[in-house]
Amino acid sequence: MNVFAAANYDSLSQEMAQGGGEHLASLAELMGIRDENRAEFYALAQVQYASLVQSGDRTPAAMLKVLHSGMETHPTFARLSSN
């Protein structure tokens, strides 16, 4: 997942801002996000794009962190991870 995020950082940032795309879908696949939750994940990624830029950290680790922290407070994903 880190390797993928590092190799595709530019495309992933772009698709986060667009709220969809093949790189974001592939990341969701690697993160094990279920098909029925993909749309919510894309919407969340779009919202989180601003936080990624604000963090000022241009590393793939920061990108994954921003996504994970968004998921922790998101009703769907928080419930899934606490199960």
Name the residues that contact another protein, by CB under 8 A.
Answer: 4, 7-8, 10-11, 13-14, 16-23, 25-26, 29-30, 43, 46-47, 49-50, 53
Residue 1 near residue 31, CB atoms below 8 Å: yes
Q: Which is nearer to another protein, 49 or 77 (CB)?
A: 49
Structure tokens at 81: 């991870």
Shortest Cβ distance from residue 80 to another protein (Å)?
20
Shortest Cβ distance from residue 64 to another protein (Å)?
16
